Amino acid sequence: MTPQPKLSLVFPVCDEEPNIGPLLDRALELAQRLATAFEVVVVDDGSRDGSLGVIEARRRAEPRIRLVRHAANRGYGAALRAGPREARGELVFFSDADLQFDLGQLASLLAHTNAFDVVAGYREPRRDPWPRLALAATWGALVRGLFGLRVRDIDCAFKVFHRRVLEAIPIASVGACVNTEILVRARQAGFRIHQVAVNHRRRRAGRQSGARPRVILRALVELAALYLELRRPALPPGAPARESAS
Domain 7-231 has CATH 3.40.50.300: no
The DSSP bridge pattern shows strands 7-13 and 91-95 to be: parallel
Confidence grade of residue 245 (pLDDT, cut at 50, 70, 90): very low
Name the 3-class secondary structure at 7: strand
Confidence grade of residue 208 (pLDDT, cut at 50, 70, 90): low
**Model's pTM, two decimal places?**
0.89
Cα–Cα distances in Å, from 215 out to 71, 205, 212, 219, 236? 20, 20, 5, 6, 37
Confidence grade of residue 128 (pLDDT, cut at 50, 70, 90): confident
Q: What are the residue boundaries of the structural domains of the chain, listed by start?
A: 7-231
CA 16/CA 32 separation, integer angstroms: 24
Q: What average pLDDT does the segment 137-146 reach?
A: 95
Instruction: Categorise residue 176: left if φ over 0, alpha if ψ from -120 to 50, beta otherwise.
Output: alpha
Q: Of 32-41, 97-106, 110-119, 234-243, give the lowest mean pLDDT range.
A: 234-243
Given a cut of 80, whether residue 36 has pLDDT beyond it is: no
Q: Strands of 158-162's sheet, edge to edge?
A: 65-70, 38-45, 7-13, 91-95, 158-162, 118-123, 193-198
Q: What pLDDT, on a 0 to 100 scale, did the predictor assign at position 32?
A: 85
Give per-residue pLDDT as tens, 148-181. Answer: 999 999 999 999 999 999 999 999 999 889 999 9
In terms of Cα–Cα distance, which of 53, 46, 70, 81 is closest to 176? 81
CA 196/CA 135 separation, integer angstroms: 22
Above pLDDT 70, what percent of the chain?
90
> Quick one: angle between helices 130-147 and 178-188, nearest 10?
30
Q: Cα 221 vs. chain centroid, distance in angstroms?
A: 19
Give per-residue pLDDT as tens, 41-100. Answer: 999 999 999 999 999 999 999 999 999 999 999 999 999 899 988 999 999 999 999 999
The burial class, CB within 10 Å (0-12 / 13-18 / 19+), for 240 is: exposed
Q: What pLDDT, on a 0 to 100 scale, did the predictor assign at position 243?
A: 33
Confidence grade of residue 210 (pLDDT, cut at 50, 70, 90): low
